[in-house]
Chains A and B, each alone.
Chain A
Amino acid sequence: MKAEPAPSQKVSSAEIFLTFLIIGATSFGGGVVAYLRNALVTKKKWLDDSHFLELMSISNTLPGLNATNMSILAGDRVGGTIGSIAAMVGMCLPGFIFMTVAGILYGEHGDRPLVTAALRGVAAAAVGLLAATWFQIGKKSVKGFYDAFIILAAVLGVNHFKFSVPVVLLAVGALSIFIHRPAKEHPPEKDSEWIRFLQ
């Protein structure tokens, strides 16, 4: 992908804010990225698909959630610094109000047996949902033996050996980046041949 920083058009911050506010208010149940693509690429045509994917790859590499990272990056592309802030605030405001009210209600009614029963069901459903989401992501992005090894190392490091998350992130992260280091003796083609062989 070539460097193409210049947005095709400047969009007013009010329009950026409103666009992200709508996504932030309607994207119930996660999957914000699909809503973002629909709005930014398909409807508004502020970005094309290759730009969108480029921003996704930045989002995925950095800490922070995809929903907010994508808002910041896309807002910057179409409206500069102010656009970036407008996009971020629009994306976050509805969920913030929703969850603050949820916190207040939980404080008032969270102890009732009926509410506790409902919340136990909600938590079990959340496990199923998150497991499916990560299973799908894993299926798409795990490429070869090394990736599987790194995933296993991270899981065992946290759940079995009880290292804290930052320790595992730094240690396993450094190892994984080292495995993927820029070098001639480990070209990516080798990996994909490997997978084809395994399949």
Chain B
Amino acid sequence: MDQIPAIARVFAYLSLLTIGGGMAAYPEMKSLVVDVHHWLTSEQVIHIYSVGQMAPGPNMMMVAAMGERISGLAGATVAAFAFFVPTGILTFGVGRLWNRLANWPWRSSIQKGLAPVAIGLAVAGLVTFGRGSITGWVTTAIGLAVFAATMRTKINPALLILGGAVVGVVALR
């Protein structure tokens, strides 16, 4: 229970880094959750993050599972609120202002400027994540197979992730 204020602080802070998606915040999430607060091991972070890719809705709802592991149901609730509500309020406010900003020349500069930054931060997050989870030839093969299937077919990604679990059970035990 004494971790609740820290959970609120950490996840609210992380949410501010999710420009363009959750992956951007991954390196910072790993360092805060694993190295600074010692709430989870880096393997646990990878597991929970990966399972989160199967969940319906926002793919960063896995913060609830992290909160649950740290501090039970209260932790789950606080982590989810801290992660989704402050940025939600910001979005609501900017959404209302957006049309008034239409003639502000920097509006389009900010949009165009942040697009490649968002991609760069996502790739950086993915590299951090990949270093922890691609650890041998089986995991390399799974990653490449899912990459190819996603690029070439319209198969539901949740099924590919489940497929990864099946291959893992067979080949990684």
Contact = CB atoms under 8 A, between A and B. Distances in A.
Interface of A: 1-5, 23-32, 54-55, 57-69, 72-73, 76, 81, 84, 88, 91-92, 94-96, 98-100, 102-104, 106-107, 110, 113-114, 117-138, 141-142, 146-148, 150-155, 157-159, 164-166, 168-169, 172-173, 176-182, 188
A106 B165 contact: no
B3 interface: no
Contacts of A100: 64-65, 68, 73, 76
A58 B95 contact: yes
Given A88-B88, A131-B147, A122 B17 contact: no
Nearest to B75: A103
Interface string B36-55: 00000000101111111111
B91 to A, nearest CB: 5
B98 to A, nearest CB: 5
Contacts of B117: 150-151, 154, 169, 172-173, 176
Contacts of A69: 87-88, 91
Given A57-B111, A127-B134, A120 B172 contact: yes
A29 B52 CA distance: 9
Given A159-B128, A169-B17, 15 more contacts: A3-B100, A27-B57, A28-B54, A55-B95, A65-B60, A68-B87, A96-B76, A99-B52, A117-B173, A120-B139, A121-B139, A121-B169, A135-B151, A154-B119, A165-B27
B109 A172 contact: no
B34 interface: no
Contacts of B100: 3
Contacts of A54: 98
Nearest to A104: B68
Nearest to B23: A130
A119 B50 contact: yes
B94 A3 contact: no
Contact of B50 (A64, A126, A133): A126
A129 B69 CA distance: 25
B161 A122 contact: yes
Given A29-B156, A104-B68, A120-B172, A98 B120 contact: no
B124 A62 contact: no
A60 B118 contact: yes
Contacts of B61: 92, 95-96, 98-99
B105 to A, nearest CB: 3
A67 B57 CA distance: 7
Given A95-B61, A120-B172, A126-B133, A26 B19 contact: no
A126 B164 contact: yes
Most chain B CB inside 10 Å of its own CB: which residue of A63, A165, A182: A165
Contacts of B161: 29, 122, 125-126, 129
